[in-house]
Amino acid sequence: MHLFIGQKQDDGLFGLTTEESHHCIRVTRHKPGDFVMVTDFKGEIWKTIILDQNGDQVICKPLEIYKREMSIGGKIHIAISLTQQSDRFEWFLEKAVETGIDTITPMVSQRTENRRDKPERWSKIIIAAAKQTLRARLPDLQPIQNLEHILKTNQIEQRFICHCENGTEGFLGKLYNPTQDILVLIGPEGDFTKPEIELCQSHKFIPVHLGELRLRTETAGLTACIILQTLKNCL
């Protein structure tokens, strides 16, 4: 069954957004009487029946809750360097949404080469992945930020920086407390510089690794996300 995005109206019915109404009628070719799923991304997905088309807007009557998103454990925030090839960053976005990330910050650090900002395209990828994977809440996409800005503005309980140099304090999964919020920094191709790592440590970011193997930026970001999610699921 397809998932569409809508807003709950005062009368208790869901009105799909204009874009979603179009998609529902023209692309997936639904008609009044069809069952579809609807979410407003506020934590619930409803099984609904299409009542009518009010002009260009599809109106759905909620029948029962299909899914209520539980928030077990802390929230996962990953700040990740943009990658040289844009498609690799976009791939990270899609997969991070599919595997349960809460907040994504596209980051620029010293060795980040590609700095192109594509907030609209990225939002579309995030929404498509959230629909595909039946998420009842939309992850938060922050604006692009410099590493320094991230360090100054985030006071999340657990703060980690992943890098490939010697001198980490161990495997991310071993140091993570899944009951608390977490922010993890993932560097660019060529990694963070030593001064950057020291700067992060002075802001109480703990240096960690993600295992024995050398990972590309986007694989590292996704691996971090799944490591954290695994330990939350084991709670």
* Shortest spacing between CB 184 and a second copy, in angstroms: 14
- Tell me whether residue 180 or residue 230 sits nearer to a second copy (CB atom): 230
Stretch that binds a second copy, among 14-22, 32-40, 155-163, 212-220 (CB under 8 A): 212-220
* Shortest spacing between CB 133 and a second copy, in angstroms: 5
Q: Does 156 bind a second copy (CB under 8 A)?
A: no
- Residues 95, 194, 155: CA angle, nearest 5 degrees: 60
* Shortest spacing between CB 169 and a second copy, in angstroms: 14
Stretch that binds a second copy, among 18-26, 47-55, 131-139, 188-196 (CB under 8 A): 131-139
Q: Does 231 bind a second copy (CB under 8 A)?
A: yes
Q: Which of 34, 40, 44, 69 binds a second copy (CB under 8 A)?
A: 69
Stretch that binds a second copy, among 10-18, 142-150, 188-196, 224-232 (CB under 8 A): 224-232
Stretch that binds a second copy, among 58-66, 120-128, 180-188, 206-214 (CB under 8 A): 206-214
Q: Does 212 bind a second copy (CB under 8 A)?
A: yes
- Tell me whether residue 145 or residue 189 sits nearer to a second copy (CB atom): 189
Q: Does 133 bind a second copy (CB under 8 A)?
A: yes
Instruction: Check: CB of residue 138 under 8 Å from CB of residue 130.
Output: yes
